[in-house]
Structure 1
Amino acid sequence: MWNVTLLLLLATLRISGAEDVTAKNKTYLEQRQEHEDSKMVGMEEEDVYLSHPHSAALDPDGKFHLSWTVDSNSQEITIEVVAETLGWLALGFSPSEALTDVDLLTAWVDDEGTGHIQDRHGPGDKTPQMDDQQDWRLVRASENDTHTLVVVVRDLNTCDDQDLPLLNTTKRLIYAYGATDPANATSLEYLGADASRGSRYLLLLQPPAPLPTSPEDTRTWSLSQSHSLAKDQRAVHWCNIVRFPHVESQVHYVGFDIQHSETSRAHLHQLTIWECAGDPNSAAYRQERERLMHYASQQGHECYSPNMPLDYNSCNNPVIVWATGAEGAREPTHVGLPMLPKVGEYAFFLVEAHYDNSLMADSIGVQWGLDVYYTEQLREFESASMFVGNTINFAMLIPPGRDHWTATGHCPAGCLLDGMPETGIKVYQVFLKAHALARNIRVRHFRDDKELPPLVQDDYYDSNFHYAMQLQEERTILPSDHITTECTYDSTSRSNTTFSGYGADSELCLAVLSYYPRHSLVECTSSTYHDVLKEVLGIKQFQNEQNLLVTSQSREPMDLRLPKRNTDFRAFVNGLTWSEVDLEALEEQLSRGTHVARCMRRGGVPAQAIKLKTSYPEAAPYAAPELACPRMLGQKIQHAGASSVSAFSLLLLVAPVLLALVWQ
């Protein structure tokens, strides 16, 4: 009897051990493929990979199309690539335009219909090398008479030094494809004469953007503008007033799409749609609204020029911000921005378009359109936007020839207290605004005596790609919090000082926070206190110094002058011999010294916190946690260990029984 029992037990242990050895001998990719196959149980293949919440054409002609889904629970990304080729295709990620560090996927479908993928890395000007660890998993591959389709999956962070972790930050996506399949696995003609290549910036980890569900739920307000660029106009900011046509009931703005012409993709750089709220408590409010009605029938004026009407300055609440690289945006389903000041009263908006003509083309006509979506089905929460960062005025300057220069702007509690509920606001989206010199932007969040994780951080910011970054989780900002926006610049391409301003040769350090519930504050920025500026630059006095702390309603930088010979401040700075200036001390004082806050309410009304001085709070800096390794690598080790432990535990449990049987 006991012989039979012992044989059965040993057989059981042998089977367990065999399964354990089999599990140990399985490769990482084999276990990953089993994981992918398990998702397909009971489902048709075409049902699983038909729809993705994100999609984009990477090339101008739409021949290389990308769709993707991010699974935040499993920390994976599924990517579907469709390319107009029957040869090989490649999709890569790079942190910057330099393409010095490319993480590349290559794929093709052979004549037998079998799909092949390769995980590669290397500089973008050479054929990338094969990774030691292959982290992409092939889920599906096929081709028809014209196109190749590949579906692949990868961990967001593979913990592979030859891969780039995919974070919620700007990434340059590289695409390439060739006309024929590689002769073998090592003969890819990545830089061959027949290869088509290009790149585009994208944010891959955005939450899904809900589309307008049906014509019954949303309406469309179509805006458009046409402008002709002359050869001597390197950049033009054009402003005009538009009237929202709906007045019968309150509606919520829920999203927009940009409509391009042949010339707008190359020459339209940025759009901002500002709400012209005005101050309803002002005695001149009615007259201002009548003038806005008159302006809405005109073509507009060059922004911030002497010809621009002063009433345009009341349009200071950003509703829509678009820039190169983006196609549109959607509000989360639980928030909407109210479009009317009140039912029965027309709403007016300022359209500010920034046209770029850096190639100095002559007589270029640029046309574009904007489809604005709104709904009478009011959302649960009313949203609003608020600027934080560095005030656009005289105090921000970037010396030439610096590969690393930091500027900051503060939004202190003294500003946030003005009109914010005690429970705070919830930020769900952030739009970063800077120009060509910016390389890194971080929006820091302080509470009490410690620093919280940043609202957003883009370590590879590029002014040719602006996009509203939807937060993975909404963030609460309390009235007692402090927000600091930091921007890092590279001015090695400049021979003169760069100042703050809206022009292409100027710089910005701003972030637009979209939040709810709605309140009156629309700007919470700061700039270096003028006494600090005088000290570090050796200036004795500014003209009209007593007025420098008074908040101006205009968004145009102040014209600051020195009393001696009525010298222009910018001319004085550009006359400095920078080799004789302690630039490290200057940067430290301008960025970390005393600042003066600018707090503005909707309609261009200064908040109570005028002349408020601020600086960095005394708080323990935030320490980012180390990126976690892929869960499946951990599971593989755990599974092997668990199997061994289970067999050993079983032996311990039955050992007394065996001994008893043997003893009998």
Structure 2
Amino acid sequence: MHLQIFLTLSAVLVCDAKLPRLNRHTQPNELSNPTQNAQAQRLIQTEAKTVKTNRIIDQYRVRHRRDVFDSKSYESSLIWAHSERLDENGDVLLRWVNSDSSITFRLEARTRGYVGLGFNSARNMRGADLVVAWVDDRNGNAQVLDCHGPEFDDLAVADDVQNYELISGYQNDTHTTVEFRRQLDTCDKQDFAIGEDTVQVLWALGPEGSDGELPKHVKSGSRPLRLLQPVAKPQVPLSNWDVRLNNLTIPHDMATLFWCKIFKAPDLPKKHHIVGYQPIIDSRPIKNKVPVVEKDSLSPVHHMVLYECAEDPDKQLWNDWAEGDGFFGPNRPSQWATCVTPIAAWAIGSKGEYLPENVGIPVGEKSGVSYYMLEVHYDNQALHEVLDSSGIRVYYTPVLRAHDAALLGAGIGVSALHVIPPKQRQYRTVGICSPECTESTMPEEGINIVSVLLHAHGTGRKIALKHIRGTQELPVISEENSYDARYQQSRIVPGGRKFRKGDTLITECTYDSTTRDKPILGGYSASQEMCLSFVLYYPRTELAGCYSMTPVKEFFETFGVREFYGLSMLQVENIFLSSGNLENLPPQLEIDMQQRYSEETAMQGDDQGVGLMKELIIREPVEFQNKTFMAHLNEMPWSERLLTEQIEKTLYKGSHMTFCKKRDDSWGAPIQIQNYPNYTEIISNETAEKSCHYKSVRLPSVTKASATSATYNKLTAILALCVTVIVAR
């Protein structure tokens, strides 16, 4: 006992004597540097965690057998439901399958050292949930170590409670393979709760021979994934129809390009159902006037949408278009405006989709649809010249599903009237599908929503599809609270959702624009933004699109502008309603505006009014007079929080111009300007107390040390930590 007291006091005295050396140049009456104190405290915490981690690893290394649970009843018959390459070269392959409460992983990596797997909302180790696995070179035993990343350091620290259960593991001359499982929610603050949202899956490979050691990794990366995905690939014979462009040259002087082409449906003897699709990405950079295949070259294809076209008696004209190469988006024939019903929507990161097993989209002339339009958006910010033959592979079957389904587009109409201020952490915008639209286009029994694809660009962080009935909000239909534009897959609505005539859909997007110095405008370019949801539902109706945007007059008044030179607000509104088309303006004004920004418009492609924003010259009020609206927008004091909050509130809760488009491009309901719906918000139950109905797995003690021995070990660790601090300082 006296020895214990002596060692404890010695440790405290030594540490206290040395810590003031952190401020060697501090004057007698000078306050100590809080930054240096914080750094010292952080070092102490890190060293303590490292000591604990090394102790736990040492326990692993002296064990003579693996601790495994009985896998015969569960894992022996596993079929891995999902498989993803975590890196571009395929050196790290992750397979997994989940039950209602747990998830099981198989990690195959090109390494003979350790392999690390992690889960986080960010793309780094700080604050991440980590698991480190290896196979001991001496005895072939596999081990897994439950770890986490400290908030301020890129390292792995062992958790207090070990919640990963080893199943098996082995290695050969090149690879290490380990299988393990965990609960989806361990109720452990050091673990990441795996749910419906997108998660950043981290990976790391240790140097050869790093068994039971955690030196810095030699390779690492991250990949956004949703781990709780349903498996919906049909178990019936499928035919495929490749809807793709043919050697389209993407010019080097266009940062954004939309290309559209008509396709004729397959000649089918009877009704078939489309049940899925996959992207075909075929982009070859042109070098010295020759297209080349490069392993690491990035395709400029940003997203693709396949639309049904309403029937037209002039079959010959549509056949001719189907034989042609297509058109630059803004120059496509006016008849193509009837191609408005989406049936497949692909964006970066998606591997494609299979529809739920109870629905299919009718295809072919026998079911009333003969022609389709493929719209491909190219994001060519690097201004490379590329030869492209990309498109979509459509899967269909004669084995009909129970219901004919359709896709409905909803959200904010794509235009420059959709503005996100810079330097904002959480800025919200909203698009409304009005009750007048759903009342006039949906059957008496309503529709059933089965899945949703949520879409925004790079600054999008959250997207939610809300459901309003009368004056009451119902549970959210679909939401993504960790949105990553690099990974866009549709989301099944568990159990489906009944949506009635007269109900309202609201698509809400939250953006993080803290890295932007200037306002972001709505548009098709990857540097601009969108807020859309593609809703898969049955039974099929005539409704194709249901959007809203801020009315033009209210929009400009929100930013303090009342009048422009040369254009009335009605003329400006007509330009935006025609997607930025400058036709039907006064002749000289049209010529002047076309000449002033024709070069930039060519660079941006279909700009949806972005160019117009740079040419509108303010007349009223006097304090903004003779500025372009874009210059005025750029010069606003966005750092003033009250200003930004007021703009967000006005554009969110204020007036909305609603649009209701049918499949034949006619209006399902008149264009209306209406106030944001008044409803009682649903009370969130996120704070409800969670219960854990399982026992956490703790590492067993490898020695039956006496209390004195255990205390001695703790004191030794304290002394070692102090010595480390002394040496470091």
TM-score range normalised by the length of the shorter chain:
0.7 to 0.9
Determine the structure 2 residue equivalent to 1:9: none
SS in 2 for 1:55: strand
In structure 1, what is the Cα distance between the partners aligned to 2:109 and 2:474? 43
- Tell whether 2:81 aligns with 1:48: no
> Per the alignment, do residues 457 and 123 of structure 1 end up closer, same or farther by CA in structure 2, a change over 3 Å counting?
farther
Q: Distance in 2 between matches of 1:427 and 1:389?
A: 16
Distance apart, 1:500 and its partner CA: 1.4
Match of 1:352 in 2: 375
1:599 shift after superposition: 0.9
Note the alpha carbon deviations across 1:292-326, whole angstroms, 9 max, x for none. Answer: 322222222222x3x22223322111111112212
Give distance in 1, aligned partners of 2:669 and 2:617.
31
The residue that corresponds to 1:319 in the other structure is 343
Contact in 2 for aligned 1:239/1:302 (Cα 8 Å): yes
Match in the other structure for 2:309: 277
Unaligned runs of 5+ in 2: 1-65, 283-293, 581-605, 621-625, 699-729
Taking a change above 3 Å as real, the CA distance of residues 340 and 551 of structure 1, as seen in their structure-2 partners, is farther
Shift of 1:183: 4.5
1:132 aligns with 160
The answer to whether the aligner puts 1:203 opposite 2:226 as a matched pair is yes
One-letter amino acid matched to 2:451: Q
Judged with a 3 Å threshold, the aligned counterparts in structure 2 of structure 1 residues 342 and 417 are, in CA distance, closer, same or farther, namely farther
Asked if the contact 1:434/1:510 (under 8 Å) is kept, the reply is yes
Q: How far 1:331 moved relative to its partner?
A: 0.8
Picking from 129, 147, 162, the partner of 1:120 is 147
Between the aligned partners of 2:338 and 2:105, the Cα distance in structure 1 is 45
1:266 paired with 2:298, answer yes
Q: How many residues align?
A: 579
8 Å contact kept, 1:551–1:610:
no
Q: 2:591 is matched with which residue?
A: none
Q: Which moved more, 1:261-270 or 1:102-111?
A: 261-270
Letter aligned with residue 446 of structure 1: I
Matched residue, 1:368? 390
Distance 1:547 1:182, change over 3 A: closer
Tell me the secondary structure at the aligned position of residue 293 of structure 1.
helix
Change (3 A) 1:393 1:136: same
* Alignment match of 2:646 (pick from 585, 592, 595): 585
Whether the aligned pair in 2 keeps the contact of 1:418 and 1:521 (CA below 8 Å) is no
Deviations 1:618-657 (A, max 9, x none): 2133313337343214999xxxxxxxxxxxxxxxxxxxxx
Q: Which residue of 1 aligns with 2:275?
A: 254
2:570 aligned partner: 545
Deviation (angstroms), 1:231? 3.8
Answer yes or no: is the 8 Å Cα contact 2:163–2:186 preserved in 1. yes
CA distance in 1, matches of 2:553, 2:168: 65
Greater shift, 115-124 or 436-445, is seen at 115-124
Say what the alpha-carbon RMSD is for the aligned residues: 3.2
Asked whether the equivalents of residues 156 and 214 of structure 2 are also in contact (C-alpha less than 8 Å), the reply is: no
Take 2:89 and 2:272, find their aligned partners in 1: how far apart are those partners?
Answer: 37
- Asked whether the 8 Å contact 1:521–1:601 carries over to 2, the reply is yes
Aligned to 1:182, the other structure's residue is in SS state: coil
User: Is this contact kept in 2: 1:259–1:369, CA < 8 A?
Assistant: yes
Q: Separation in 2 of the partners of 1:61 and 1:564?
A: 54
Tell me the amino acid that sits aligned with residue 272 of structure 1: M
Do residues 223 (structure 1) and 239 (structure 2) align? no
Identical aligned pairs, as a percentage? 28
Unpaired runs of at least 5, structure 1: 1-32, 637-664
**Residue 250 of structure 2 corresponds to residue 233 of structure 1:** no
**Deviation sequence 1:496-539 (CA, Å, 0-9, x none):** 32221112222111111111111111211211233432432233
Paired residues for 1:27-426 under 5 Å: 37=70, 40-41=72-73, 47-49=76-78, 51-72=79-100, 75-97=101-123, 100-111=126-137, 112-122=139-149, 126-184=154-212, 187-189=213-215, 191-192=216-217, 195-211=218-234, 213-214=235-236, 217-225=237-245, 226-261=247-282, 266-278=298-310, 280=311, 285-287=312-314, 289-303=315-329, 305=330, 307-340=331-364, 342-343=366-367, 347-360=370-383, 362-426=384-448
* Farther off after superposition, 477-486 or 488-497: 488-497
Task: Confirm or deny: 8 A CA contact 2:278 2:352 kept in the other structure.
Answer: yes
Secondary structure at the residue paired with 1:241?
A: strand
Query: Structure 1: how far apart are the matches of 2:518 and 2:570?
Result: 26
Paired residues of 2:124 and 2:202 also in contact (CA < 8 A) = no
Q: Which segment drifts farther, 267-276 or 196-205?
A: 267-276
Q: Say if 2:690 is the partner of 1:628.
A: yes
Whether the 8 Å contact between 1:595 and 1:615 is mirrored in structure 2 is yes
TM-score, structure 2 as length reference: 0.73
In 1, distance between residues paired with 2:632 and 2:396? 48
SS of structure 1 residue aligned to 2:424: coil
Note closer, same or farther for the CA distance 1:183–1:273 as it changes in structure 2 (3 Å cut): closer
* Deviation readout 1:165-199 (Å, 9 max, x if unpaired): 11111111111223524343xx212x24xx22122
Q: Which amino acid in the other structure matches residue 48 of structure 1?
A: S
Greater displacement, 614-623 / 87-96: 614-623
Per-residue deviation, 1:67: 1.4
Contact 1:429 1:469 in 2 (8 A): yes
Which letter does structure 2 place at the counterpart of 1:596?
A: M
CA contact (8 A) 2:655 2:673 kept: no
Q: How many Å apart are 1:381 and its aligned residue?
A: 0.4
Amino acid aligned to 2:176: T
Residue 654 of structure 1 is matched in structure 2 by none
Letter paired with 2:309: A
User: How many Å apart are 1:366 and its aligned residue?
Assistant: 3.9
SS of the counterpart of 1:232? coil
Asked whether the 8 Å contact 1:417–1:479 carries over to 2, the reply is yes
What amino acid maps onto 2:516 in structure 1?
Answer: R
3-state SS of 1:266 partner: coil
Matched, 1:528 2:556: no
Structure 2 counterparts to residues 591-630 of structure 1, below 5 A: 591-611=652-672, 613-625=674-686, 626=688, 628-630=690-692
Letter in 2 for 1:232: D
Q: Distance in 2 between matches of 1:410 and 1:264?
A: 41
Secondary structure class of the residue paired with 1:589: helix
Matched, 1:430 2:425: no
| Cα 1:564–1:364 shift into 2, 3 Å | closer
CA contact (8 A) 1:238 1:302 kept: yes
Deviation of 1:263 (Å): 6.7
Query: Structure 1: how far apart are the matches of 2:90 and 2:371?
Result: 36
Residue type at the aligned position of 1:90: G
What is the CA distance between 1:611 and its match in structure 2? Answer: 1.4
Q: Which residue of structure 1 aligns with residue 29 of structure 2?
A: none
One-letter amino acid of the counterpart of residue 205, structure 1: L
Task: Check whether the contact 2:103–2:182 (CA below 8 A) recurs between aligned residues.
Answer: yes
1:291–1:94: structure 2 CA closer, same or farther, 3 Å change rule? farther
Q: Partner residue of 2:476?
A: 454
Name the CA shift for 1:396/1:369 in 2 (closer, same or farther; >3 Å).
Answer: closer
Partner secondary structure for residue 436 of structure 1: coil
CA distance in 1, matches of 2:578, 2:102: 48
Cα distance in 2, alignment partners of residues 535 and 371 from structure 1: 46
User: Shift of residue 386 of structure 1?
Assistant: 0.9
Residues 109 and 181, structure 1, Cα contact 8 Å, conserved in 2: no
1:266 partner letter: L
Distance 1:563 1:356, change over 3 A: closer
State the one-letter code of the partner of 1:224. R
Whether contact under 8 Å (1:550, 1:611) holds in the other structure is no
Residues of 2 paired with 1:516 and 1:101: CA distance? Answer: 42
Find the residue that maps to 1:418 and give its secondary structure: helix
